Amino acid sequence: MPEGPSLLLLKEDIDALHLIGKKVLRIDGTNKIEADRLIGQQLKAVKTYGKNFLLCFKDFTLRVHLMMFGTYLINAEKSTKLQLSLQFEDAKINFYTTSLKIIEEDPDDLFDWSSDIMSDQWNAAAALKKLKAQPDAIIADLLLDQQIFTGSGNIIKNEALFRAGIHPLSKVASIPDKKLKELIKAVRDFSFDFLNWRRDKVLKRHLEVYEQKNKKHPHIIKEYLGKGKRGTYIWPEKQHLYV
DNA sequence: GGGCTTGTTACTGT
DNA sequence: TACAGTAACAAGCC
């Protein structure tokens, strides 16, 4: 569920319920959120920031992060531990396996939407500047850096690197500006393809390297690399290593 | 059924 | 003390 594009689909599902202006009638689940603060509150806005889903109320915002395995169901339940249920007049939203937090600050003050890969305010030039500020990093790590590419995850990392023809272990300082710009554009473009493909439930068949070892092409290899030792797929003939 | 996985944080040790 | 590396957590797919 969790990369940026999937959060937009979550927002689409919630928007379809027309809950703005509606009150929270009841909350349930194993969360440690203060129920008293939420009950009776009118939903003011629903936003996403990268992988964060934001339910905005008058004086605070509930931040829902779906982590690796987070899921949600609308007007439906499943057997795994219910973490947070928000009952509105005509609809109930159930969240499972999430990280929840009440944010006191105004989200517009707290979050910089120009780094959000899905946002209208996305600023490619700012991303380039942030990449170049870490010349010794390997590019694969920076594609997961939420300060630079807010909302990017491991699938986007792999596919964007493939599209730009850059090997994941390339050192940032060694990659020509032209290629960095190409990569930044690939992140943005792939993320919207991801959004549309996932909406149509056809994402997997369009992936070119991610989980494609021994599938799309026999030369694709898999390595665990970078800070988080995340699974990384490489088609060596097509991805140049800049060192 | 063991080994993966779209993620992040809190520890640990150096 | 700062940083890098590891463990922990979760549910579902194959």
Give A76-132 pLDDT, tens digit per residue: 999 999 999 999 999 999 999 999 999 999 999 999 999 999 999 999 999 999 999
Name the helix (H) or strand (E) containing A87: strand A84-87
Query: A22 with A88: CB under 8 angstroms?
Result: yes
State yes or no: pLDDT of A35 exceeds 90. Answer: no
Mean pLDDT of the residues in chain A = 94
pLDDT of residue A213: 87
State yes or no: pLDDT of A137 exceeds 80. Answer: yes
What is d(CA A172, CA A139) in angstroms, rounded to the nearest whole number?
Answer: 6
Q: Which nucleotide is nearest to A2 (CA to C1')?
A: B6
Burial A219-238 (b: 16+ CB within 10 A, else e): ebebeebbeeebebbbbeeb
Check if residue A41 sits with its Cβ under 7 angstroms from strand C: no
What is d(CA A149, CA A136) in angstroms, rounded to the nearest whole number?
Answer: 18
Q: Which residue is nearest to nucleotide B5 (CA to C1')?
A: A68
State yes or no: pLDDT of A65 exceeds 90. Answer: yes
Cα pseudo-dihedral A77, A98, A65, A210, rounded to 10: -90
For residue A9, report the phi and psi dihedrals to the nearest 5 degrees: -70, -40
What is d(CA A202, CA A197) in angstroms, rounded to the nearest whole number?
Answer: 5
pLDDT of residue A1: 65
Instruction: Assign A162 a pLDDT band (cuts: 50, 70, 90).
Output: very high
Pairing relationship of beta strands A92-96 and A99-103 according to DSSP bridges: unpaired
Cβ neighbours around A115 below 10 Å, total: 23
Average pLDDT, stretch A61-82? 94
Query: A203 with A194: CB under 8 angstroms?
Result: yes
Q: Strand C: which bases are under 7 Å from protein Cβ?
A: 5-6, 9-12
Query: A100 with A62: CB under 8 angstroms?
Result: yes
Q: Strand C within 7 Å of which CB atoms in A 54-73? A: 67-69, 71
CA(A170)–C1'(C2) in Å? 26
pLDDT of residue A217: 86
Instruction: Assign A11 a pLDDT band (cuts: 50, 70, 90).
Output: very high
Average pLDDT, stretch A31-55? 93
Check if residue A78 sits with its Cβ under 7 angstroms from strand C: yes
Q: Strand B within 7 Å of which CB atoms in A 28-57? A: 50-51
Name which of A186, A173, A168, A162 is nearest A229 in CA terms: A168
Structure tokens at A200: 């149509």
